[in-house]
Amino acid sequence: MTDQNPIREAIEHAIAEHSVILFMKGTPEAPACGFSARTVAMLQALDAPFAAVDILPDPRIRQELSALSEWPTIPQLFIEGELVGGCDIVTEMYESGELAGMLAAGGGAGEPAPEPVSAPNGLHQIENRLA
């Protein structure tokens, strides 16, 4: 096993620790792009508590996340440790009702928001938001 960097380890830990986590541009209260805003709005419409990570403070967050998920675009939604996809896929799943089912099955619906978690060295902050 090769040595991993603290950012990748923090991302892996965050994905493992949170039932529903959204890596986005900006925060749920202040999304920094339309795709992130739409994804947040869908989660909020389903009353799904979720953790959110702003990838903008450090470009290495996006780089490591995309390498880990093998998905190049932001936002990225993970449920129960699995990548669901970006805004387009989340939108399709929301419209079909599949996202609501996944959130209910994955513990995202009706679950209290988890406690906030900080990444090593303060490189980024993982914020938990109750939609």
- What pLDDT band is residue 116 in, cutting at 50, 70 and 90? very low
Give the span between the Cα atoms of 94 and 75, in whole angstroms: 15
CB-CB contact of 48 with 42 (8 Å) = no
The model's pLDDT over 37-59, given as tens digits with 9 standing for 90+, comes to 999 999 999 999 999 999 999 99
pLDDT value at 1 more than 80: no
pLDDT for residue 131: 34
- Domains, in order of start, for the chain: 6-130 (3.40.30.10)
Phi and psi of 104, rounded to 5°? -65, -45
Angle value at C-alpha 37, between 74 and 53, nearest 5 degrees: 55
CB-CB contact of 21 with 80 (8 Å) = no
The model's pLDDT over 76-106, given as tens digits with 9 standing for 90+, comes to 999 999 999 999 999 999 999 999 999 987 6
pLDDT for residue 105: 79
